[in-house]
């Protein structure tokens, strides 16, 4: 279990006063960056503004304390917005709490079972597809608040959203649009002047002051959500039943998978920035604990936030202390300044999320894949994208993984091959081997199997059709790394055909995994140990010696 030790304990061994000061300063700066994002993401997810801060405070602290990265900053991210909104719509806040806690449990199980390295098996096409899909869904979800549309709750389904917007487009409020446009201008152009102050914070301060002192009729957080709480809630157990848990298992696992992917991607990015190496399994456990306690305290799902983590590194943060300071700073802001957040215009938060949504869509990578990737990869990419947008993330990932697995098996089956070769044409035989192969008797037939032999390729064994005068059939398996039960069934059928035609099977150069499967299956004993030879030359010599008897 030593590999699960939090990174914090390693970094404190040679911790200095100078680094403490840098971590404190970086933590405060990152908290200022996280403040507007946490509130905006909570609102976009269909929960109250405070929930975003609860998440950044509670989950952020646990992720830093127990995680496997020196500089990871945890909190709510845009990746979860679509799935959270759907859970809240269907199951309410209690359902969200249950899903968040379940996701945390899944993450801890992944970490304890050393699954950290398995995240790399999620194809790039799927992550690109659902990331762009999430970005589009998040972008569309902000239209109501950005335009100030006079309508009820926004539907959770994409097509229903578009229809609802079209029906209420005539209720667009010009004042709201102008305030939102001002926020967008600041968000786009202020970073070109300086990156020392978060553009989102500047946009919020400027537009809030404009709306307040000009007394503009624009919806604010306070006018929509009422008075905001300035204290942490007590942990509570939600009203839950077995039926709810069963229905939430799938979305909870999707949340866990997303949290694992995004947090470990963030770790990889930050490793390159500080020349360090994260502990992926400890990171998953930290993410799991963060999500469990976030749910208990009324927060939403959390993960490592790449942008906030990068900001932490750029501002001198080098240990988990910076992430813990970030959480404590947000707690102080919650306790002291939260009522002031009621003045923030809703259109400004929508503008912040429009920029976040645009930035998370890597359209350059998306269209590069569409242009240059194999057709099978394009199918996965585009399919995952549209399923994420039109249906939901759970369906997109499930279908995407199934399609990817099927296409992978198709590729593997295509590279698997069974053929009879003419001895003189073997390209890699030595001079001595060539002489042996040239002089082999016609009663000896050689078939070479290449590639993994699994259920999608096992039918190729039926192509082995020896001549009527064949006495010994040599199956050369030097290029077979693995076989499965379906392939074993095919080998048994081959042995049955050979026995019926009084042909002896000889296996040449069987690798470790296939040999182990054959032994466990009983096939090895059926054929006989002497009929397994180390190479093709030995196999032919063995067959010839049997012919001479």
Residue 424 is predicted with a pLDDT of 46
In the DSSP assignment, the letter for residue 228 is P
Q: Which of 117, 110, 59 is nearest to 285 (CA)?
A: 110
Both tokens of residue 264?
């470990």
Domain coordinates of the chain in residue numbers? 2-405, 417-547
Residue 110 is predicted with a pLDDT of 94
417-547: what fold? Transcription Regulator spoIIAA (3.30.750)
Asked if residues 148 and 181 have their Cβ atoms less than 8 Å apart, the reply is no
Asked if residues 477 and 508 have their Cβ atoms less than 8 Å apart, the reply is yes
Asked if residues 125 and 369 have their Cβ atoms less than 8 Å apart, the reply is yes
Asked if residues 327 and 302 have their Cβ atoms less than 8 Å apart, the reply is no
For residue 69, CA distances in Å to 40, 302, 312, 313, 382 come to 26, 15, 12, 12, 33
Residue 121 is predicted with a pLDDT of 73
Task: Please write down the HEC assignment for all residues of 341-359.
Answer: HHHCEHHHHHHHHHHHHHH
Can you state the angle between helices 199-213 and 346-360, rounded to 10 degrees? 160
Q: What is the pLDDT of residues 276-285, one digit of tens each?
A: 889 999 999 9
At residue 450, φ and ψ (nearest 5 deg) are -125, 140
Q: What is the secondary structure of 74-120 as a DSSP string? A: EE--GGGHHHHHHHHHHHHHHHHHHHHHHHHHHHHHHHHTT-GGGGG
Residues of the chain with pLDDT under 70: 1-2, 120, 421-439, 549
183's enclosing H/E stretch is: helix 174-193
Residue 2 is predicted with a pLDDT of 53
At residue 58, φ and ψ (nearest 5 deg) are -75, -55
Residue 27 is predicted with a pLDDT of 94
Q: What is the pLDDT of residues 140-197, one digit of tens each?
A: 989 999 999 998 888 878 899 999 999 999 999 999 999 999 999 999 999 988 877 8
Asked if residues 228 and 341 have their Cβ atoms less than 8 Å apart, the reply is yes
At residue 429, φ and ψ (nearest 5 deg) are -90, 150
Both tokens of residue 106?
């899944």
Q: Which of 253, 275, 294, 327 is nearest to 65 (CA)?
A: 327
Cβ-in-10-Å burial (0-12, 13-18, 19+) of 303 comes to: buried
């Amino acid at each position: 279990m030593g590999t699960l030790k939090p990174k914090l304990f390693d970094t404190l061994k040679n911790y200095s006063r100078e680094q403490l000061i840098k971590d404190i300063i970086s933590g405060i700066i990152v908290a200022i960056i996280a403040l507007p994002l946490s509130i905006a993401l909570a609102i976009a997810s269909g929960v109250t503004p405070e929930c975003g801060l609860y998440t950044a405070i509670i989950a952020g602290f646990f992720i830093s304390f127990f995680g496997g990265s020196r500089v990871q900053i945890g909190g709510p991210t845009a990746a979860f917005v679509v799935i959270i909104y759907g859970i809240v719509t269907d199951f309410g806040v209690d359902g969200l709490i249950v899903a968040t806690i379940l996701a945390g449990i899944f993450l801890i199980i992944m970490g304890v079972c050393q699954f950290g390295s398995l995240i790399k098996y999620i194809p790039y096409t799927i992550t690109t597809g659902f990331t762009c899909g999430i970005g589009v869904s998040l972008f569309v979800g902000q239209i109501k608040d950005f335009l100030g549309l006079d309508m009820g709750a926004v539907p959770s389904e994409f097509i229903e959203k578009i229809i609802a917007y079209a029906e209420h487009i005539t209720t667009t409020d010009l004042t709201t649009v102008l305030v939102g446009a001002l926020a967008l201008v600041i968000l786009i152009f202020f970073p070109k002047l300086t990156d020392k102050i978060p553009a989102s914070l500047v946009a919020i301060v400027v537009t809030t002051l404009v709306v307040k002192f000009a007394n503009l009729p624009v919806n604010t957080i306070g006018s929509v959500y009422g008075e905001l709480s300035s204290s942490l809630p007590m942990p509570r157990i939600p009203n839950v039943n077995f039926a709810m848990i069963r229905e939430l298992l799938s979305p909870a696992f999707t949340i866990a998978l997303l949290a694992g992917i995004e947090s470990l991607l963030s770790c990889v990015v930050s490793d390159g920035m500080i020349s360090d190496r994260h502990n992926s399994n400890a990171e998953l456990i930290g993410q799991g604990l963060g999500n469990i306690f976030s749910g208990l305290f009324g927060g939403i799902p959390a993960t490592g936030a790449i942008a906030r983590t990068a900001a932490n590194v750029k501002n001198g943060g080098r240990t988990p202390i910076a992430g813990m300071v970030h959480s404590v700073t947000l707690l102080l802001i919650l306790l002291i300044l939260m009522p002031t957040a009621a003045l923030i215009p809703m259109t400004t938060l929508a503008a912040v999320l429009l920029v976040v949504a645009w930035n998370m869509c890597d359209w350059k990578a998306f269209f590069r894949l569409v242009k240059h990737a194999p057709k099978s990869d394009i199918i996965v990419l585009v399919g995952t994208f549209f399923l994420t947008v039109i249906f939901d993330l759970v369906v997109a990932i499930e279908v995407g993984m199934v399609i990817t697995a099927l296409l992978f098996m198709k590729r593997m089956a295509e590279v698997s091959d069974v053929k009879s070769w003419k001895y003189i044409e073997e390209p890699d035989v030595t001079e001595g081997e060539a002489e042996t192969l040239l002089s082999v008797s016609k009663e000896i037939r050689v078939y070479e199997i290449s590639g993994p032999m699994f259920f999608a390729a096992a039918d190729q064994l039926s192509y082995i059709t020896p001549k009527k005068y064949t006495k010994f059939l040599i199956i050369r398996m030097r290029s077979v790394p693995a076989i499965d039960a379906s392939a074993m069934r095919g080998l048994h059928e081959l042995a049955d055909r050979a026995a019926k035609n009084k042909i002896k099977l000889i296996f040449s150069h069987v690798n470790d995994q296939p040999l182990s499967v054959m032994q466990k299956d009983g096939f090895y004993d059926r054929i006989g140990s002497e009929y397994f030879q180390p190479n093709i030359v030995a196999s032919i010599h063995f067959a010839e010696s049997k012919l001479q008897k």
